[in-house]
Every structure is written in structure tokens, then in C-alpha cells.
Copies of this chain bind each other. A is one copy, B any other.
Amino acid sequence: MAKELKELTPRSESYSQWYQDLVIKADLAESSAVRGCMVIKPYGYAIWEKMQRILDDMFKETGHMNAYFPLFIPKSFLSREADHVEGFAKECAVVTHYRLKTNPEGGVVVDPEARLEEELIVRPTSETIIWNTYKNWIQSHRDLPILVNQWANVVRWEMRTRLFLRTAEFLWQEGHTAHATCEEAVAEARQMLEVYATFAEKYMAMPVTKGVKTASERFAGAVDTYTIEALMQDGKALQSGTSHFLGQNFAKAFDVTFTNKEGERELVWATSWGVSTRLMGALIMSHSDDNGLVLPPKLAPFQVVIVPIYRSQEQLDLISAKVKEIMAKLKARGISVKYDDADNRKPGWKFAEYELKGVPVRLAMGGRDLENGTIEVARRDTLTKETMPLDGIDAHIETLLNDIQENIFKKAFDYREAHTVTVDTYDEFKEKIEEGGFILAHWDGTAETEALIKNETKATIRCIPLNGDQTPGVCMVTGKPSRQRVLFARAY
């Protein structure tokens, strides 16, 4: 029964059902009583906390500080920036009242007398309320730059939701910076893209392609949107983080100017950038398999689990004494480790449980190990195991964790390489897009051609890559000139 409970739908049968099974059964998240809002469970949240801590350190190293702005945005603020309201008005949670009252028949109803003069929007993103605030913070060039980040919840009333990937409420960070010059703002937006790419590759072990969005895929209110795009195991792309150069759009909308060194008033330049709990979905889909989650050691809530295999309390005591020594050595190397000596579950159940939860290394110690001075070492990524001498086990595991981190990156990298093709004709494009993966092709730079391709193939331009081949060519659809190949895929 325990085994069945833990079984996932195989990816080959239904990738989306496998994903759903995995998120639920590995105790990462679940749906709540509120449509589209999820509960992030302790094990899932522990992974998110690791991500937060690392990103937060990276933001601080690049000179940013955290702050906190209101959850609510006056309705009128949204309409100040034309593209922005266009982008967000259709999916806003709107607060209209500030009181309930008890119904004479029991139950509670909204008190019609407690209607707000102006409705409040639950923030879908905070540019408007923040730029309205910055107006008071910025007078002179000496007040610039402002380098602020916020960790917060936001709400976008999505109709079709999926745990982590698309939820009505999600957690994220949003950086909002203000600069004296265009160049400085562009440099900031690009710097934060680099931070995201480094985080994705170094910590999530997830290779990403850096690029610029086309006009139709831009953030509502941005001049340029930079993105990191990752390829999931089912051949679909996942936009994993974006950094926006906002130009002077929000400064104009909220009348934010500064006195430059020459004593003249100028509009302020802006960026914003964010990653969200969507990264959890990206992490899960980059590495996991039919047995469950596969976690990169750098983001695992605990990197090593130790399971004792014993026949008597006496034997358990002997094993536990040995385990205690091993744990002390591992902790001294900064390795996080859990000892599961719970007596209400069999070792086989525990093995399946930690496999499902993606713990990178599992150690098991039994009676024979005690006699021989050995321990069984199993790695989650390759599902292989070997018996090792206890002597030097801590150094071995430190190396092993690094190997696992590298190996799962390499696996994801090789997958992406194997699923990235270059095509020159639209017929070939239509054929290849059915196989999934990234396609590099020439495009004439128009929104019309982009829309046509999307309508006919469901593929979108994920980005215009910043690196790689920049050779000009001709559009695969219209034959018109193309500056460089762009990256197409079907996407989440």
C-alpha cells in the first residue's frame, strides 16, 4: 500500500499528470479551498526558502536593499500607464468593501455601508505604487540610484492554474530601481539578468538561454524585457525570470523627476525584475524522474539522509552511535543531514519516501556494515548505490554532492543541446515543433509574422538570444531580411 501511495504516473504516459502527482506526493504544494491559490507545504517551502536566501544574498552583493510596499493599489494608479493597465486590468482581485456584518439569520454578509470610495486592487506587480512612492524620495541626482527589492505575494486572477507554474496568488521578489541615466538603467537590467542566469545554472543546475523579448512578449509598460528561458523535459520552454528596462514610462506616469548636476529637471530612468515560486516548477521539471523529485544538492532542504537497518534495539543503539559520529563530521563540512530512526516505518518505505522527495544522497547502515566498518551510499540522480568504507566517508560525500550538482546540470544541458535545432524553412519548422524543444530560426522582425507562426504552430519567440550566432539571414516565412536567428518553442 505504501508503495502504491507513492507511485507517480509515468512521464511517458502523461507529463502533466506526472507533474501534478509529483508536486502532491512529494509534499511540495497542494490546491487550497480558494480557487487558484495554493498551499505551499513545509517541504516545498523549505526549498523555496533556500532559493530566497541565495537570491537575497546575490541582490545584496549587487548593492540592493529590501523594503516593503502596500499590498493594495488604488484603482486609479493602474490606469496611469496605458500599457500597464492593458496588461493587468483583466486579472485583478478587487477590494470594494472593508467590513462584514452579521446577518440576522446567521452567517455574515458584506456590509453595504462599508464601501470604499475608491476600489483597491490587490497588487499584480508593484510598479505603480512604488513609483508613486519614489516621487517623494527623489529630488536630486544625489538621491539616485535607488536600488530596492521587495519579497512579496502578488495576485493575478488566472483562469487556468497549475501548482507553482500558474497560480492566482504567488510569491516572488520584485526589484525596482531608479537611475539618473538611460545607460545606467540598461546596465542594471542586464546585471540582474546575469544574476538570474547565474542562480539558475549554478544553484538550480538548470541551463538557461538569455535574451530579449519581442515587443509582443514584453512586460506591460517596459521598453525592453530581458528573459532567461529554460527547456523542460517535455520539450516545452519555461520563462524563468525577467528583467525589464522601463525607460521613463513610469517616471512620466507618476511625474518623477530629479535635478541633474547642471541644475535641470529630468525624468528618472527605471528597471524592474522578478522571479517567483514558478521557479519551483522549473526546478521540478528540469531534473525529476518517474521515481520522484531530483534535487540539486545546493537547494535540497537536507542533502543527506541516513537510515538505520536493525533487528534489535541493541543493534540500533550501536548503529546510532556510529551515525552520530558520521553526522558530526558531515555537519563540520557544512553538509545538512537528517537521521531517520523513526520506528513506525520500515527501511523500504523510507527509501521510497526519500527517493520521492529527491534527497541527493541516502546512507544506510545495517548489521553487516557495523561489522565491516562500511556504509551503503545511494545517489538519487543516478539511482546507483555502493558500499563504502566508513573511513573518509565525509570527504567522499562532499565530493559526491559536488558531482551530483554537476551531473544533473550536465544532464539538463545535454538534453537541451540534443533538443535545440536550427531550421531554415517554415515546413521544417512545422515538422520540428511537433517534436518539442528549442528551434533557432530566422524571423523578419514583424509582429505579423510572429502572430502568424503562433497561430499556426502554437510556438512563440521565447527570446532574441543575447549570445550565440548573430549572423543575419532571411525569414523562414516571408523571406525578408532577419538580423539573427531567434529562439522559438512552445511554452508554459
Query: Which chain B positions have C-beta within 8 A of A39?
Result: 67-70, 133
Q: Bound state CA distance, A167 and B72, in angstroms?
A: 13
Contacting residue for A85 out of B66, B108, B155, CB 8 A: B108
A89 near B100 with CB under 8 A, answer yes
> Are B142 and A72 in touch, CB under 8 angstroms?
no
Q: How many identical chains are in the complex?
A: 2
Q: For residue A48, which residue of chain B has the nearest CB? A: B68
Binary contact track A33-47/B, C-beta < 8 Å → 1, others 0: 110011111100110
In the complex the two chains form, is A133's CB within 8 Å of B71's CB?
Answer: no
**A–B Cβ pairs within 8 angstroms, 11 of them:** A30-B136, A34-B70, A34-B73, A42-B148, A71-B169, A76-B107, A89-B99, A91-B98, A92-B99, A94-B110, A142-B344
Q: Which residues of chain B are near A91, meaning CB under 8 Å?
A: 98-99
Q: Are A100 and B121 in contact (CB under 8 A)?
A: yes
Q: Report whether B32 and A133 are in contact in the complex, using a CB–CB cutoff of 8 Å.
A: yes
When the two chains form their complex, are residues B99 and A96 in contact, meaning their CB atoms are under 8 A apart?
no
Bitwise, A58-87 to B at CB < 8 A (1) or not (0) is 000000011111111111111100000110
Q: Are B122 and A169 in contact (CB under 8 A)?
A: no
**Closest Cβ of chain B: how far from A300's Cβ, in Å?**
15
A46 touches B34 (CB 8 A): no
Whether A252 sits at the interface, judged by CB under 8 Å, is: no
Q: CB within 8 Å of B: which of A308-367?
A: 344
A71, A85, A97, A153 — which one has the most chain B CB atoms within 10 A of its CB?
Answer: A71
Q: How many residues of A contact B (CB 8 A)?
A: 65
| Docked CA distance A40–B153 (Å) | 16
User: Nearest chain B CB to A339's CB is how many angstroms away?
Assistant: 15
Q: Does A423 sit at the interface, judged by CB under 8 A?
A: no
Q: How distant is the Cα of A17 from the Cα of B101 in the complex, in angstroms?
A: 35
Q: Which residue of B lies closest to A90 (CB)?
A: B99
Docked Cα-Cα span, A97 to B96, in Å, equals 8
Judged by a CB distance under 8 angstroms, whether A372 is at the interface is no
- The minimal Cβ–Cβ distance linking A15 to chain B, given in whole angstroms, is 26
The answer to whether A120 and B85 have CB atoms under 8 Å apart is no
Chain B positions within 8 Å of A89 at CB level:
99-102, 108
Closest chain B CB from A367 CB (angstroms): 27
Q: Assess the B68–A45 pair: CB atoms within 8 A.
A: yes
Hey, which chain B residues are within 8 Å of A108, CB to CB? 75, 78-79, 85, 89
Q: Does A157 contact B (CB under 8 A)?
A: yes
Given contacts A30-B136, A39-B69, 4 further A-B contacts (CB under 8 A): A32-B69, A32-B70, A34-B70, A42-B67
The complex places the Cα of A65 from the Cα of B49 at a distance, in Å, of 11
A95 CB–B CB distance under 8 Å: yes
Least Cβ–Cβ distance between A263 and chain B, in angstroms: 15
List A residues 241-287 near B (Cβ within 8 Å): none
Knowing A71-B153, A169-B70, the reply to whether A100 touches B90 (Cβ < 8 A) is yes
A102 surroundings in chain B (CB, below 8 A): 85-86, 89
Q: How far is the CA of A236 from the CA of B76 in the complex (A)?
A: 40
A119 within 8 A of B: yes
> Are B42's CB and A66's CB within 8 A?
yes
Cβ-defined contact, B92 with A100, below 8 A: yes
Q: Are B171 and A129 in contact (CB under 8 A)?
A: no
Contact between chains at A45 and B65 (CB < 8 Å): yes
Q: A153: which B residues are within 8 A, CB to CB?
A: 71, 152-153
The 8 closest A-B pairs by CB, nearest first: A37-B70, A42-B65, A89-B100, A40-B68, A98-B157, A94-B97, A34-B70, A96-B96
Interface digits, A104-136 against B, CB 8 Å rule (1 contact, 0 not)? 001110100000000111100000010011001
Interface residue? A390 (CB, 8 A): no
Query: Does A388 interact with chain B (Cβ within 8 Å)?
Result: no
**Nearest B residue to A33, CB-CB:** B132
